[in-house]
Amino acid sequence: MGLKLNLKAGERVIINGAVITAEKATSIILHNMASVLSERHVIRPDEATTPARRLYYAIQCSYVSTPDELPAYLRDVEILLNDYEAATTIAETHANLRAMRSMVEGHRYYDAMRLCRDLIKYEDIILGMSTKQKPAHSFMPD
């Protein structure tokens, strides 16, 4: 069995770059490999307001891009990874940025986005944007 997506009425999902909106509650089964991104995991350009969110946005764009668009987004990811690495002295953050770089180089964009979501949580704590507890994949030193 493939990947089953349960969508609520009005919920959107991106599949291979196409935005799909469910008119009513429905289930979709994908029987082959596809780039799938649910609406709740999408960052819009105007929401990419911090370094981690800009990095996530660039990885997200790489994930759903066409082959012609991909090189430009990958350049953006590379620049943002380099800038983030230069701006932090936290060893755990460096390790996670290296892991994200490896995932992107291996075309594992969704995995890199998942790791970047933890970086966003950490950044929110540092910037005082959130009072949530330490993320599962810690970017904070123990």
pLDDT tens for each residue of 8-44: 999 888 888 888 899 999 998 989 888 888 888 899 9
Which pLDDT belongs to residue 37?
83
pLDDT band at 141 (very low <50, low <70, confident <90, very high): very low
Taking 60 as the threshold, does the pLDDT of residue 114 lie above it? yes
Compute the mean pLDDT over every residue in the chain, rounded to the nearest whole number: 87
What pTM did the predictor assign? 0.81
Measured CA to CA, the distance from residue 3 to residue 10 in angstroms comes to 20
Which pLDDT belongs to residue 61?
94
Burial class from Cβ neighbours inside 10 Å (0-12, 13-18, 19+) for residue 80 reads: buried
Contact 19/12 with Cβ under 8 angstroms? yes
